Amino acid sequence: MGSGPSGFYAAEALLESEYTTEVDILERLPVPYGLVRHGVAPDHPRLKDVADTYAAIARHPRFSLMGNVSFGKDFTLQELADCYHAVIFATGAATDRKLGIPGEDIQGSHAATSFVGWYNGHPDYRDIEFDLSGESAVIIGQGNVAIDVCRILAKSTDELRKTDIATHALDALAESRIREIHLIGRRGPVQARFTTKELRELGQLSECDPFVDPDDLLLSETCKSELSDVREPARARNFEIFRGFAFRRQEKPKCCRIHFCLGPREARGGHRLEELVLERTRLVGAAGRQEAVGTGETVSIKAGLMIRSVGYSGLPLEGIPFDEKLGTVPNKDGRVAMALPNGFPVYVTGWIKRGPTGIIGTNRADSMATVATLLADLPSFGAQPKPGREALVSLLAQRSVQSVSFHDWETIDQAEKARGLPLGKPREKFTRISEMLAASSA
C-alpha cells in the first residue's frame, strides 16, 4: 500500500526473492512515486531519476499498480485479507508535526507539507494560497525540508522556470516580494540537521546570500565534543560552511539569516501573521543528547509568512495500531502485532515504520528488512489460495472506482512530458485528480 520509494523497494525485494510472489501496489493518487514526485524539490532533478528504477520494477510480469484507490474508503482491511496473503503498508508520513504554540494556525502560517506539496503540484495542496507579498518570511526547523523551502523562496523565477515546478507556484513565486528569509533552529549549529551538500548549495544561490551571526559559532565544551565526534563527520563539515556564512557581505538582492538557539513561542498578528515571538534557548544535557531549554529572554521577528518545517508524522490507518506520539505503526522488524479474525499478516516499511528520517535510499534497506520478516513468516500464511488482484479489481469496479494501471500512468507521464516540452520543462504536471484521470484514458 503506497507507491513511494519504500513501497517500490518492498516490491523489488519480493519480486527478486526465490518465491513467485505476485505483487500489487495500491496507491491513493492516480500517479505513483510518492515523495519522489511530490516531495523532492523541483530544482533537484537528479534525485528524481530514481523513478526510472521504480518504472523498471513496475514492468516486471508479476507486478501491477492500481492507482486512484483509497484504503479505508474504497476497500477495507478485511477485503484486502480476502484477496491477498499479506499486506505491507508503505504509506509514509503524510502530515506535519505541530509546534504547539499559540497562533500556530494563524493566516500566513503553514506546514512545510503544504508548501512542498503546493510547489510540487500535489492535488491535495494545489489550491492553498501562500501570501508572498511581505518582505520577510520565517522557516522553523533546520532539516533538509527547511532548506528546500528556503531555496524555493530564495531562487529567482528564471532559476526555477526550467524545472518541473507546478506552474501555479511558479506564477505566485514570480510575484513574491520576499527578500529576507529567517531559518530558525531551536538548537545550535552543531545540532542542525542539514546535510552538507544541501547546506553548501545555500551559499551558491545566485540571488541570495546566507548569513550566520559569528557569536552563534562560539561553542560550549559539550558542543565542541559533539563537533569532533568522528561518527558524525557532517557536523564539522557543516560548521566550516557556517563559518563561511558568518563573514559574508550582502551582495545579492535576497538574504537568508540562519538563527540558532531560538525556540518559537507565539505567532502574533491581527487577522494574519505579523510577527513571531521566540525565546532564546541554551543547550543542556550530555554530548549527543543536548536539548534546548528556554532562558526567559524573548526576541521577535516580523514576518508575513511562516513555514513550519519541524518534521513529518504518519497518519493512522483504519484497523491498524498506531502510536500517536511517534506518528508510526508499532512493529517488530516490520511485522505489525495485530490480529484480524483470520490472522491476516500486516507489515510496514519506510516512514510509517521507522518515522521520517533518512534519504530515499535509506528505504531500500528498510524495505528489504521488512520483506525478510515477511518471507520468514511465509510458512504461517497457510496454503489456501487467494484470488489476488482480479478480485480486488472486480470489487472496485462494483463500487465505480476508476483505478489507474501502470500503463495508464505511462500515458499520463507522456502527456505531462509533452506539456512540458514547449515550456522547456521536463514535465508540466497535472495537479488535479480529474486531469490525471482524463489524461490516463486519453
By CB under 6 A, name the binding residues for ligand NAP.
Answer: 99, 140-146, 148, 185-187, 191, 193, 195, 198, 263-264, 309-312, 356-359
**Comparison of 115 and 406: residue with beta carbon closer to ligand NAP:** 115
Q: Which is it for strands 346-348 and 87-89: parallel, antiparallel or unpaired?
A: parallel
Report the nearest approach of ligand NAP to the CB of residue 191 (Å): 5
**Comparison of 13 and 307: residue with beta carbon closer to ligand NAP:** 307
Q: Do residues 413 and 55 lie in contact, with contact meaning Cβ atoms separated by under 8 Å?
A: no
Q: Do residues 109 and 127 lie in contact, with contact meaning Cβ atoms separated by under 8 Å?
A: no
Report the nearest approach of ligand NAP to the CB of residue 346 (Å): 25
Residue number, nearest CB to ligand NAP: 143
**Comparison of 16 and 229: residue with beta carbon closer to ligand NAP:** 229
Residue 381 corresponds to which cell in the numbers above? 500464511
Residue 365 to residue 372: CA distance in whole angstroms: 10
Report the nearest approach of ligand NAP to the CB of residue 24 (Å): 27
**Comparison of 173 and 190: residue with beta carbon closer to ligand NAP:** 190
Grouping H, G, I as helix, E, B as strand and the rest as coil, residue 48 is: helix
Report the nearest approach of ligand NAP to the CB of residue 213 (Å): 17
Beta strands per DSSP E along 90-213 = 95-96, 109-111, 136-140, 180-184, 208-212
| Cβ atoms < 10 Å from Cβ of 371 | 24
- CA 184 and chain centroid, separation: 19
Report the nearest approach of ligand NAP to the CB of residue 383 (Å): 41
Residues 6+ apart with CB under 8 A from 228: 236
For residue 272, which amino acid is it?
A: R
Residue 1 to residue 90: CA distance in whole angstroms: 6
Report the nearest approach of ligand NAP to the CB of residue 207 (Å): 20
Report the nearest approach of ligand NAP to the CB of residue 138 (Å): 11
**Comparison of 133 and 357: residue with beta carbon closer to ligand NAP:** 357
**Comparison of 357 and 394: residue with beta carbon closer to ligand NAP:** 357
Give the residues across from 67 on adjacent strands. 404
Give the residues across from 292 on adjacent strands. 283
**Comparison of 262 and 415: residue with beta carbon closer to ligand NAP:** 262
